[in-house]
Structure 1
């Protein structure tokens, strides 16, 4: 008997789940009220990485003299930057649309709400773009409605010039100054981009540290790099209010040493995202949720049998690749394939230099009382990094008492690519002794990972021997 699956949301969780379910023979209806691809493709991951590439090229031009290339001056054409970014997004959205057609997935444009969740037949009511309503039926439902920007209750947050990440990607002018409220991934990435564009960037973070989810040593080494780039960071600081004063915004902050005021042409609210759970009719169909998102079991099934929640809406990992992975896992489980999935989710932060991490941090291991070893290798001792002109940063690895790698943390060139060596090794539970016999090509950045692993046993060739016993 053919399975009928309804998927609510066409982002990286929903559309990937739809394709995998269709591949396995399911009849799939996907409901999306906006463009396919979700926040990631339309307002997040992809447009920001397009802008990041612009910023990267600007940084290269600024450093061109070091390579014997003299550039007298250059200008940034915002219209061209936006055209390129929008073109990339359009190309990828069109690609997803074609994949829906190629896999015979029915796409319904509109807003869906849970209507009836009986044991055998589950129903979703769709309000279509033209105002008509219709009801679709299925054996299973996958909720993949994503998340939205969180706006904190700060006095003056509605002033003109106070913007969110949804707004800033469509900038028409490069601001002379930008105050960013929030030192998490979103705030730091936009800070890096606009700093490269010539904007004076100031970041305000309420927690004791920026990027609080990242290994502490990585952040400690990042901070002087930010100061060198003239990015001002205030941690342990709470924004009390925002005032409009002529053509400037005044951000009133209470910090460790008292109150102070920051000035910016624009203020970016980058205080995180919240799951899209409103308007889904969750209460009426008895699906449990809280402010963190829809509650699920380890298999992503909700409190109602046969209904699953994946991606940002379940609040576990607000990362596009986590949503896609969960989508495949759930689609296969519905179709009778036992897929245990993986909880090893890499996290990549696109600043200068890049940060990528996987697995345990030192702080987590200390808090849990787990014995471990750490080692690191500096990119300043790596030939490829120096040839690239990107010798800042390091690769840090953590192993347990059995010499199994349990954490990889990278600050440096192409960290978002290098982390995947750690992904393979940690998923396969490879030990240091096994990695030692894996030949790494020279000269490559990957050699830094190899040397960092060897250093766990004090066997790194291109590093000063550790004094530890």
Structure 2
């Protein structure tokens, strides 16, 4: 079986490795980075910056409370950027080594389908190469959306990619967009003392998550001095001396924000166009490759996974899809439960969700019971000083089945895996209650939230 995969991100390279493990002859075509946006300019680098700046912020503000004396604490921005690059490089080189070990051929260049069995690659090193295949998987990811307001192309108006490699720490930043990308960069730079303003078009930050846990993050940002405008629309961006002036509108009232940099964090769009797919019979709608529930396109031997399909834009969803499609092509069927997708925000407090929010459960017609437990009642959270946030569990009132788990707090992005497993196994609240959790751990808050569904939590009145 000859499989051609276009795109070497967390969907493509994972599919390549899995298919090679199962005996396929695999060619992986990548135009820029092995590891894709995630490893090189997205998930991994941003988390390095979040980790280091969070330590700095905590020590600067809480060292005395922690029993520490620190003199002349400061950020070496160049060293931090170097660490960011080293971490990304280490992980990318690890992926490259696995691909070599599995005999996956990596071809550098731009791919275009010339038939349902051939791809022409314009090689990065020059020239062209034709690659034939039995099956193909498209995993070309997504790209930043730039809203076309007047002034969007001015110097100093940047995307998240440039925001990770600024030469100096700006004194002020206006972030257009209060989704995951926007609030993570607000966290990074506010930790460093930058004056941050967020302008969000929707009435809520991180609108796809349960708003009760998002409120914990918004409170933390406001405490750091971040200004947040919701239900606001950016009208234009102008140069104001050495700075930028963002004109926006809140209701009927216009307002201005002066900032050194403007980060466009208005989401990402699928990168499924320019591949010659439509010419061979594959439907593409505004860059989103159309697929069925098994990720197959209208052409039987061509599949598409990850962000380029216009679905959930998360690296772990692309990887899960890649595993599923590779096994499907190789004659096996992996049952992937896409109800249990965890959504994570790596701020302080961290946010993590899996399953239905309270609002979604009600809209779907469930009769629900809700359990909540605040992190200030959790021993480990008090120890670390991270007492903001809660665990919230949504359960079916009739069966007790866990419908959703939502966490704001320290280690939320790690703990959410237990919620995903519970939902995958169709666990009930009672089964969570009768599971023993180690003490002292943040995970005990899940146990307490489960008890709270029945009004019997131990460590809150």
Q: TM-score, normalised by structure 1?
A: 0.96
Q: Is the 8 A contact 1:204 1:233 kept in 2?
A: yes
| Residue aligning to 2:206 | 211
User: 1:226-241 residue pairs with structure 2 within 5 A?
Assistant: 226-241=221-236
SS in 2 for 1:116: coil
* Contact 1:216-1:363 at 8 Å conserved across structures: no
Which residue number corresponds to residue 369 of structure 1?
Answer: 365
Question: What residue number does 1:383 align with?
Answer: 379
Q: Which residue of 1 aligns with 2:406?
A: 409
Counterpart for residue 350 of structure 1: 346
Q: Contact 1:216–1:362 (CA<8 Å) still a contact in 2?
A: no
What 5-or-longer segments of structure 2 have no aligned partner? none
1:260-409 paired onto structure 2 within 5 Å: 260-291=255-286, 293-343=288-338, 344-401=340-397, 402-409=399-406
1:455 pairs, out of 436, 443, 452, with 452
Aligned to 1:51: 49
Could you tell me how far 1:229 is from its partner in structure 2? 1.2
Which residue in 2 is equivalent to 1:245?
240
Deviations 1:281-325 (A, max 9, x none): 121011112136111111111111111110110121100011000
C-alpha contact (below 8 Å) 2:136/2:303 kept by paired residues:
yes
Distance 2:302 2:70 in 1: 58
Distance 1:303 1:284 in 2: 12
> Is the 8 Å Cα contact of residues 217 and 348 (structure 2) preserved in structure 1?
no
56-65 or 156-165, which deviates more: 56-65
Q: 1:4·1:140 contact (CA, 8 Å) conserved in 2?
A: yes
Residue of structure 2 in register with 1:259 after alignment: 254
Shift of 1:352: 1.1
Specify the SS of the correspondent of 1:56.
Answer: helix
Gaps of 5+ in 1: 465-469
Decide whether the 8 Å contact of 1:82 with 1:170 is kept in 2: yes
CA RMSD of aligned residues (A): 1.0
1:62-141 matches, cutoff 5 A: 62=60, 63-117=62-116, 122-141=117-136
In the TM superposition, residue 463 of structure 1 has moved relative to its aligned partner by: 2.2
Residue aligned with 2:279, SS? coil
Q: Deviations over 1:372-423 (max 9, x none)?
A: 1111001100111000111111000100121010101111001100111101
Task: Note the C-alpha offset of 1:74.
Answer: 1.7
- Assess if the C-alpha contact under 8 Å between 2:353 and 2:406 holds in 1: yes
- Which whole-Å CA distance do the structure 2 matches of 1:72 and 1:100 have between them? 47
- 1:33–1:110: 8 Å Cα contact kept in structure 2? yes
* Residue number among 193, 200, 204 corresponding to 1:198 in the alignment: 193
Once the two structures are TM-superposed, the CA of residue 220 in structure 1 deviates from its matched residue by: 2.9
Do the aligned residues in 1 keep the contact of 2:349 with 2:388 (CA within 8 Å)? Answer: yes
Moved more, 409-418 or 61-70: 61-70
Once residues 225 and 35 of structure 1 are traced to their aligned partners in structure 2, the CA distance between those partners, rounded to angstroms, is 35
Contact 2:216 2:349 survives alignment (8 Å): no
The aligned residue for residue 467 of structure 1 is none
Q: Does 1:42 align with 2:40?
A: yes
Q: 2:16 and 2:217 mapped to 1: Cα distance? A: 40
Contact 1:374 1:456 in 2 (8 A): yes
